[in-house]
């Protein structure tokens, strides 16, 4: 694995390897076993959008691995004044061993990989959120003991999270149903990717129908970062696309509920379902730390085993 740009670039084996490294690092972290596999390394953490979890977990994760994570606010960088991507990354490649970026266009992340000479990690674009889905798969595996054959149902906007869930779940051997309203469907490239998985993937418009047989339920905000002007229109479009008691009773008993956070209670999920599944949701948030450490370690080529 040279970069971590989107899950469709990874093989199933690479995804499972990341999950195994993450579980190992989590065990070591919890048991005080040293794992400074990135001793003396540097990682740039570039943000063009807000973040709590991604920033904090990459900074802490880098520190725990013995590396230095430098937070770079894109608004304060020359890229905000038009410095070309190919110049920025050629410079940063001279200072850093690795770079993580959260930005808008997927093409910007791909360009960093193309013009730079260090591994690039996608910390969220409008197109996908692959680091999050590695943490989610890790969480599902912890709760369910495996992934193969389980059904994941995503309800809501066909956004970056939906795109990464579809690719990640199918590659990991899960079945996947995306329940999205007309006009808010996942990316056409992802829907085309899913075609190869036959009836393991379903796209559906009706939450109560899509959730039948689900072992895992996921959702995300109706309005993503950068779409704030559409908030009211989106509230109308997503009315009914909510994880609530009725949806929970139509899913399999013991279904796990995940939310990447931040959550809007009363919109995509009710307060009651959120709090009843808070253990799962906050384990998922914690697992960002372990998953991100695994991604950094795998890209460095030194995972201690």
Active site residues: 102, 129, 132, 220, 260, 288
Segment lying near ligand NVA (by CB under 6 A), choices 18-26, 84-92, 140-148, 158-166: 158-166
**Minimal CA–CA distance to 259: which of 207, 288, 220, 287?**
220
By CB under 6 A, tell whether 51 contacts ligand CP.
yes
**If you count them, how many residues does the chain have?**
305
Buried b or exposed e, range 143-168, using 16+ CB within 10 angstroms: bbeebeebbbbbbbbbbbbbbbbbbb
Min dist CB 293 to ligand CP, Å, is: 15
Q: Which residues within the stretch 169-198 sit at the binding site for ligand NVA (CB under 6 A)?
A: none
- Give the residue with the Cβ less far from ligand CP, 120 or 250: 120
Strand order in the sheet with 216-219: 201-204, 175-179, 151-155, 216-219, 256-259
By CB under 6 A, tell whether 293 contacts ligand CP.
no
By CB under 6 A, tell whether 57 contacts ligand NVA.
no
Q: Which residues within the stretch 211-230 sit at the binding site for ligand NVA (CB under 6 A)?
A: 220-221, 224-225
By CB under 6 A, tell whether 227 contacts ligand CP.
no
By CB under 6 A, tell whether 151 contacts ligand CP.
no
For residue 69, the surrounding DSSP H or E stretch is: strand 68-73
Min dist CB 162 to ligand NVA, Å, is: 9
By CB under 6 A, tell whether 53 contacts ligand CP.
yes
By CB under 6 A, tell whether 287 contacts ligand CP.
no
Cα distances from 218 to residues 50, 60, 83, 124, 194, in angstroms, run 22, 26, 38, 17, 18
For residue 250, the surrounding DSSP H or E stretch is: helix 245-250
- Give the residue with the Cβ less far from ligand CP, 179 or 260: 260
Q: Which residue is nearest to ligand NVA (CB)?
A: 224
State how far the Cα of 68 lies from the Cα of 97, in Å rounded to an integer.
Answer: 10
**Minimal CA–CA distance to 37: which of 45, 46, 28?**
28
What's the chain's Rg over C-alpha atoms?
A: 19
Q: Which among ligand CP, ligand NVA, none contacts residue 251 (Cβ within 5 to 8 A by kind)? A: none
Q: Which among ligand NVA, ligand CP, none contacts residue 88 (Cβ within 5 to 8 A by kind)? A: none
- DSSP state, 8? G
In the numeric block, the tokens 């850093």 are attached to 96
By CB under 6 A, tell whether 160 contacts ligand NVA.
yes
Which residue in 161, 169, 170, 174 binds ligand NVA (CB under 6 A)?
A: 161
As beta bridge partners, residue 121 has 4, 100
- Give the residue with the Cβ less far from ligand NVA, 86 or 107: 107
Size of the site for ligand NVA (CB under 6 A): 9
Q: Which among ligand CP, ligand NVA, none contacts residue 106 (Cβ within 5 to 8 A by kind)? A: none
- Give the residue with the Cβ less far from ligand CP, 20 or 59: 59
Which residue in 169, 260, 269, 289 binds ligand CP (CB under 6 A)?
A: 260
State how far the Cα of 190 lies from the Cα of 227, in Å rounded to an integer.
Answer: 21
- DSSP state, 155? E
By CB under 6 A, tell whether 73 contacts ligand CP.
no
Segment lying near ligand CP (by CB under 6 A), choices 47-55, 76-84, 195-203, 206-214: 47-55
State how far the Cα of 284 lies from the Cα of 289, in Å rounded to an integer.
Answer: 9
Contacts with ligand CP, residue ranges (CB under 6 A): 51-54, 124, 132, 260-261
């Amino acid at each position: 694995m040279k970069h971590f740009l989107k899950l469709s670039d990874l093989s199933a084996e690479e995804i499972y390897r990341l999950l195994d490294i993450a579980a190992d690092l989590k065990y070591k972290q919890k048991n005080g076993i040293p794992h400074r596999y990135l001793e003396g390394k540097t990682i740039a953490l570039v943000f063009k959008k807000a973040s709590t979890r991604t920033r904090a977990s990459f900074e802490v994760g880098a520190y725990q691995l013995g590396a230095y994570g430098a937070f770079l606010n894109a608004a304060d960088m020359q890229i905000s004044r038009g410095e070309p991507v190919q110049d920025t990354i050629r410079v940063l490649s001279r200072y850093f061993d690795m770079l993580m970026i959260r930005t808008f266009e997927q093409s910007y992340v791909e360009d960093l990989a193309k013009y730079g000479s260090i591994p690039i990690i996608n910390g969220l674009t409008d197109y996908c959120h692959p680091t999050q889905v590695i943490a989610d798969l890790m969480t599902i595996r912890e709760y369910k003991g495996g992934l193969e054959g389980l059904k994941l149902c995503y309800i809501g906007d066909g956004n970056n999270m939906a795109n990464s869930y579809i690719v990640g779940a199918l590659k990991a051997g899960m079945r996947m149903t995306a329940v999205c309203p007309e006009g808010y469907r996942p990316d056409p490239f992802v829907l085309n990717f899913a075609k190869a998985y036959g009836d393991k993937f379903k796209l559906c418009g009706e939450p109560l129908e899509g959730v039948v047989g689900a072992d895992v339920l996921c959702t995300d905000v109706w309005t993503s970062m950068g779409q704030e002007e559409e908030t009211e229109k989106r509230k109308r479009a997503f009315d009914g696309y909510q994880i609530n008691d009725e949806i929970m009773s139509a899913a399999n008993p013991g279904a796990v509920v995940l939310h990447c956070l931040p959550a809007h209670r009363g919109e995509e999920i009710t307060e009651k379902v959120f709090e009843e599944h808070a253990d799962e949701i906050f384990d998922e948030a914690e697992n960002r730390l372990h998953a991100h450490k695994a991604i950094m370690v795998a890209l460095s080529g030194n995972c201690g085993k």
